Copies of this chain bind each other. A is one copy, B any other.
Amino acid sequence: MSDTAPTPDLSTLTIAVLGGTGPQGRGLARRFAAAGLDVVLGSRDAARAADAAQALAEVGRVRGTSNAEAATAGDIVLVVVPWDGHAELLASLTDELAGKVVVDCVNPLGFDKQGPYALPVAEGSATQQAAAILTGSRVVGAFHNVSAVLLEDPSVERVETDVLVLGDDREATDLVQALADVVPGMRGMYGGRLRNAHQIEAFTANLIAINRRYKAHAGVRVTDV
């Protein structure tokens, strides 16, 4: 959703998903492809990305390749890699990602016997770490709290959740809100500046705790908006 700006046209853009062979990346790719967008999955292993893309061939236009080629191909590039390796991957792709809207979706979480918890991040958040590394890109944070189980389930027609979009670049956050809006049930919403990304990433730990307690695939709706 947008308060005043016109809705950006996504139909001519390519959406790249780095780390696109994990559940979250595959799930997002499925939903964007189902909405008619052009999707490129990236992986460290291009063959695995090609396999994951093949599995989505019936859904829409999805192809798979290396992370570097996906980054080159994408107009909007989602980063859906494990936290362990996040900085290293982005540092290797600064040229490919220059000038692009990069959407960090990574949740730095740890797990122990008591369940999930937020890991400390020197830059404040994964999104701020991405912004610190990708100084030539337009970094936004989004899609942190969306259940991969629901995204990947073809029987789930509507993914009922708001997607909080964090960033300091209004045009970029508007674009990513529009990207979330293409998924039925999903609503993109501005969620604050980059410096307020940490708590949205960390909130995923609470959602996991909620899922365990209530046997749910919890998402978030913001009321009164």
Report which A residues bind B (CB closer than 8 A).
Answer: 3, 114-118, 147, 160-161, 164, 166, 189-193, 195-196, 198-200, 202-203, 205-207, 209-210, 213-225
Inter-chain CA distance A220–B164, complex, in Å, is: 12
Q: Are A224 and B220 in contact (CB under 8 A)?
A: no
CB pair A199 B196 closer than 8 Å: no
Contact B206–A191 (Cβ < 8 Å): yes
Which listed residue, B114, B196, B215, B221, touches A221 by the CB 8 Å rule?
B221
Closest to A209 in B: B192
* Residue pair A161, B223 in contact (C-beta under 8 Å): yes
Query: Which of A191, A209, A225 has most chain B Cβ within 10 Å?
Result: A225
User: A128 CA to B202 CA in the complex, in Å?
Assistant: 16
Closest 7 A/B residue pairs (Cβ): A192-B209, A199-B202, A199-B199, A219-B223, A221-B221, A192-B206, A216-B224
Min CB distance, A35 to chain B, in Å?
20
Chain B residue numbers with a CB within 8 Å of A221 are 220-223
Q: Give 7 A-B contacts (CB < 8 Å), ordered by A residue.
A: A114-B195, A115-B192, A116-B192, A189-B210, A199-B200, A207-B222, A210-B225
Main secondary structure of the interface of A (DSSP, over half): mixed
A127 to chain B, nearest CB (A): 13
With A and B bound together, what is the CA distance between A116 and B199 in angstroms?
A: 13
Among B116, B166, B205, B220, point to the contact of A223 (Cβ < 8 A): B220
> Which of B115, B206, B217 is the one whose CB lies under 8 Å from A200?
B206
Q: Is there contact, CB below 8 Å, between B225 and A209?
A: no
Q: How far is the CA of A96 from the CA of B114 in the complex (A)?
A: 31
- Chain B hits for A118, CB < 8 A: 196, 198-199
Q: Is there an interface contact between A218 and B210, defined as CB atoms closer than 8 Å? A: no
How many angstroms from the CA of A224 to the CA of B117 in the assembled complex?
21
Given the complex of chains A and B, what is the CA–CA distance between A180 and B174 in angstroms? Answer: 35
A200 to B206: give the CA distance in the assembly, Å.
Answer: 9
